[in-house]
Structures are given as structure tokens and as C-alpha cells.
């Protein structure tokens, strides 16, 4: 019996070591995240002031601000949302409710899943060729919004599909049984019940778009904009690009500006994520199947 007990003891010890190792990894990851947030906060928070929020960028670090950047972000996000939301929800509805499982649907699904993993900068290249030059939209807010809208489209489509899929089959059957058409069923039953999931997906997608830098650099968003855009076809900058620009400068003072921008960006993305999760759980509570 003793050799068996020894083996069991050894096995249990290895089990224990694994727990130690994985706890260490978990703590390490959380520590890195905390350090990142703290570093940005300590450097950047003091810099945030009304002046900072409402000044244009400048050659002098202490006079520079992010006005053009956050206005740019807001305008671009508007176009992005207007592009991605209708297209994404419409595609999601079609694929879940109407499409038959033939080669065409298969092709569309493969496309969506592939697009979800295409590097964002490649989207920027496509946008450069098509929106900026071929369609002549120039290095503008419109090009940027369209680019990001197409970039986050797969996310909106997938989350819409999941939300619709979660609606039980008997709801559909009950609706058809009283003589409703397919669209009426979708409009009156499926969509209202999947609103929570769809909204969550939209928030997550927009949250991703806010932080995107590479594709916008590629389509020519400038890094030094000292005016506010007047139309969708005007040049612009966005907050991530402004942060990138300041990070790349050698002077310490610009790094502080970058940290301030960073903490605002982080605050926006993390709170949007939190809102998305809250929306998801509160809708889940309202509708109990």
C-alpha cells in the first residue's frame, strides 16, 4: 500500500504545483493590466484640464490639446455607426432568418469569418485605393467612417446572428401560426427579443472602432490638425492618432500629453465595454424563456 500512497502523494504535489503556476500567471496578467492603467493615470490624469480638452495641437507641448482629435473621433464614429449598424443588422437578419443553407450562404459565411481576421491595416489599404482615390472621397471623415464601418461589420453581423439565434423556435412558430408573414414575425417578435444582444454587439464593435489607428493612418488621417472639420469631406484626426503622434516625439512633455489622451481613450473603451455587459445582463433578466 505504501508505494501507492507515495505515487498518490507525488501526483497530488504536481497538481498543487500547477495551481501555483496558473495562479501566478493569472496574477501576472492582472498585474500588467493594473500597471498599464496606473502608469497612464499617474502620468496623464494631472494633465487633463478644460484647456487640454478644448485646445488644438501645438508645437508647444504645454499648449497642445485634443479638441480636433475628439471632435474627429466623434464625427468618424457617427459615420462608422451609420455604416455598420444597418448593414450589419440587415445581413444578420438575412443570414439567420431567410438564407437557405446552400453554396451562396456558405460563401457569405466564409467571407465574414475571413474578414473578421483580416488585419485592420489591410482594410486601410483597400480604403485608400477605393474610397480615397477611385471614389474620390479624399482623406476625409467620410472615408474614415466607411473604412471603420466595414472593419467592424463582421462583429455586428456575428453578434446579431447570435442574438437572433437565441430566440426560441416556438416564438416563431406561434407567430406564423396566427398568420403573420416572415417580416412581421421578425419585426414584431424576433427583433424586440434580440435587442439586448444586438445592442451589446454594437457597443463592442464601436468600442473596437474607437481604438483603431492603423487603417486611419493609411487613408491619410493627418496628425497635425489645428482646425475643426466643417463637412464630412474635410481632413481630420482622431484621438488614437493624436496619441500615436505624441508618443513618437522624443520630448517628455509630449509623452505626458499622450498619456492623458490614453487615459481618456481607455476610460471610453472600458466604460463602453462595461455598459455593453450591463445591457446584456439587464436584457437577459427582463426576458426569461
Partner 1 sequence: MVAMENHKAEIKNLSFCYGQTRVLKNISFSIAEHRVTALIGPSGCGKTTLLRCFNRMHDLYPGNRYEGEIILYPDAFNLLSKRMDPIEIRMRISMVFQKANPFPKSIFENVAYGLKIRGVCDKHHLSQKVEEALKNAALWEEVKDRLSCLASSLSGGQQQRLCIARALATDPELVLFDEPTSALDPTATQRIEELIQELKKKYTIVIVTHNMQQAARVSDYTGFFYLGELIEFDRTDILFTNPKVKKTEEYITGRFG
Partner 2 sequence: MKTFLNRNRSHTRIKEKLIKGILFLASLCSVFITGGIVFILVTQSLPFFKTVSLTQFFLDTQWTPLFSDAHYGIWPLISGTFLTTSIALGLAIPMGIIMALFLSEYAKTNVREMIKPALELLSAVPTVVYGYFALLFITPLLQNWIPSLSGFNVLSAGLTMGMMIIPFISSLSEDAFHAVPMSLREGSYAMGATRLQTAVRVVIPAAFSGVTASVILGISRAVGETMIVAIAAGMQPNFTWNPLEPAQTLTAYIVQVSLGDLPHGTLGYHTIFVAGLTLFLITFVFNVIGHTFRLKFREMY
- 7 near partner 1, judged by CB under 8 A: yes
Surface-to-core class of residue 4, CB atoms within 10 Å of its CB (0-12 exposed, 13-18 middle, 19+ buried):
exposed
For position 39 contacting partner 2 by CB under 8 A, the verdict is yes
Using rule CB under 8 A, residue 19 touches partner 1: no
- Long-range own/partner contacts, residues 267-275 (CB < 8 A, 24 or more apart): 268/207, 268/210, 269/207, 269/210, 269/211, 272/203, 272/204, 272/206, 272/207, 272/210, 273/203, 273/204, 273/207, 275/203
Nearest to 196 by CA among 160, 156, 171, 158: 160
Sheet strands (E) in the chain: none
Binding partner selected for residue 228 from partner 1, partner 2, none, CB under the kind-specific 5 to 8 Å limit: none
Judged by CB under 8 A, the stretch of 48-56, 190-198, 242-250, 280-288 that binds partner 2 is: 242-250
Of 6 and 182, the one with the shorter C-beta distance to partner 1 is: 6
Q: 35 or 230: whose CB is closer to partner 2? A: 35
Among 74, 111, 281, 282, binds partner 2 (CB under 8 A): 111
Q: Is 85 in the site for partner 2 (CB under 8 A)?
A: no
- String of b and e for 97-113 (b: at least 16 CB within 10 Å)? eeeeeeeeeeeebeebe
State which of residues 8, 27, 45, 287 lies at the interface with partner 1 (CB under 8 A): 8
Residue 9 or 59: the one with the smaller Cβ distance to partner 1 is 9
Partner touching 5 among partner 2, partner 1, none, CB below 5 to 8 Å by kind: partner 1
Q: Which is nearer to partner 1, 10 or 249 (CB)?
A: 10
* Residue in 154, 196, 201, 229 binding partner 2, rule: CB under 8 A: 154
Amino acid at each position: 500500500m505504501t508505494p501507492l500512497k507515495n505515487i498518490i502523494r507525488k501526483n497530488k504535489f504536481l497538481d498543487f504545483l500547477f495551481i501555483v503556476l496558473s495562479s501566478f500567471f493569472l496574477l501576472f496578467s492582472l498585474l500588467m493590466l493594473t500597471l498599464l492603467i496606473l502608469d497612464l493615470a499617474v502620468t496623464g490624469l494631472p494633465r487633463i484640464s478644460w484647456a487640454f480638452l478644448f485646445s488644438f495641437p501645438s508645437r508647444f507641448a504645454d499648449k497642445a490639446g485634443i479638441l480636433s482629435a475628439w471632435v474627429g473621433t466623434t464625427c468618424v464614429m457617427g459615420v462608422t455607426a451609420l455604416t455598420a449598424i444597418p448593414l450589419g443588422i440587415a445581413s444578420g437578419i438575412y443570414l439567420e432568418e431567410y438564407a437557405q443553407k446552400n453554396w451562396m450562404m456558405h460563401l457569405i459565411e466564409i467571407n465574414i469569418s475571413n474578414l473578421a481576421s483580416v488585419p485592420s491595416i489591410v482594410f486601410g489599404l483597400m480604403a485608400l485605393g477605393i474610397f480615397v482615390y477611385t471614389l474620390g472621397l479624399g482623406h476625409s471623415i467620410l472615408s474614415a467612417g466607411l473604412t471603420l464601418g466595414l472593419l467592424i461589420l463582421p462583429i455586428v453581423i456575428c453578434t446579431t446572428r447570435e442574438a437572433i439565434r437565441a430566440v426560441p423556435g416556438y416564438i416563431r412558430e406561434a407567430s406564423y401560426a396566427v398568420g403573420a408573414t416572415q417580416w412581421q414575425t421578425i419585426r414584431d417578435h424576433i427583433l424586440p427579443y434580440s435587442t439586448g444582444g444586438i445592442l451589446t454587439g454594437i457597443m463592442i464593435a464601436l468600442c473596437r472602432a474607437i481604438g483603431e489607428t492603423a487603417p486611419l493612418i493609411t487613408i491619410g488621417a493627418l496628425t497635425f490638425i489645428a482646425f475643426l472639420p466643417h463637412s464630412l469631406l474635410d481632413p481630420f484626426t482622431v484621438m488614437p492618432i493624436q496619441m500615436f503622434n505624441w508618443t513618437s516625439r522624443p520630448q517628455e512633455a509630449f509623452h505626458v500629453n499622450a498619456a492623458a489622451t490614453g487615459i481618456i481613450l481607455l476610460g471610453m473603451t472600458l466604460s463602453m465595454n462595461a455598459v455593453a455587459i450591463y445591457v446584456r445582463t439587464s436584457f437577459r433578466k427582463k426576458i426569461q424563456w
